[in-house]
């Protein structure tokens, strides 16, 4: 979700305040909002409940890997496939 200014409707930008806190600021109006919550890197959580396929790990040559597809570029570009080795001692990540 993109944050917009409630006064002028322009896009809000992230800025570090003098106090060291992070806030959203409007470049047109004097409006700002302090950011009180931060996003947590989903890391391991993103790999729960994903399917596996026959894909050889480039690091350990294990024959299976978990995979997920995400749209990382514009809609007219193909999706990016991310892999994680099924060998838990390796767990190498790569993308196609």
Predicted confidence at residue 81, as pLDDT, reads 93
The reply to whether 54 and 85 lie within a common domain is yes
Q: What is the pLDDT along the chain (96 residues), one digit of tens a residue?
A: 678 888 898 999 888 877 778 889 998 988 888 887 766 556 677 888 899 999 999 999 999 999 999 887 777 888 899 999 999 999 999 998
Predicted confidence at residue 39, as pLDDT, reads 61
Helix, strand or coil for residue 45?
helix
Distance CA 92, CA 83 (A): 8
Is 86 marked as binding a ligand? Answer: no
The reply to whether 49 and 88 lie within a common domain is yes
The reply to whether 32 and 13 lie within a common domain is yes
Is 8 marked as binding a ligand? Answer: yes
Given a contact cutoff of 8 angstroms between Cβ atoms, the answer to whether 72 and 78 are in contact is no
The domain of 33 spans 1-39
- Report the domain count for the chain: 2
Predicted confidence at residue 2, as pLDDT, reads 73
Helix, strand or coil for residue 58?
coil
Tokens of 83: 């892999």
Distance CA 85, CA 59 (A): 9
The reply to whether 56 and 82 lie within a common domain is yes
Distance CA 34, CA 17 (A): 9
Predicted confidence at residue 41, as pLDDT, reads 58
């Amino acid at each position: 979700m993109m944050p917009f200014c409630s006064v002028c409707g322009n896009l809000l930008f992230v800025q570090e305040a003098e106090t060291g806190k992070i806030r959203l600021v409007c470049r047109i109006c004097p409006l700002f909002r302090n950011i009180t919550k931060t996003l947590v890197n989903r890391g391991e959580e993103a790999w729960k409940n994903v399917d596996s396929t026959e894909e050889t790990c480039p690091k350990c040559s294990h024959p299976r890997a978990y995979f997920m597809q995400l749209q990382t570029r514009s809609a007219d570009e193909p999706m990016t496939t991310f892999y994680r080795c099924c060998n838990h001692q390796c767990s190498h990540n790569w993308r196609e």
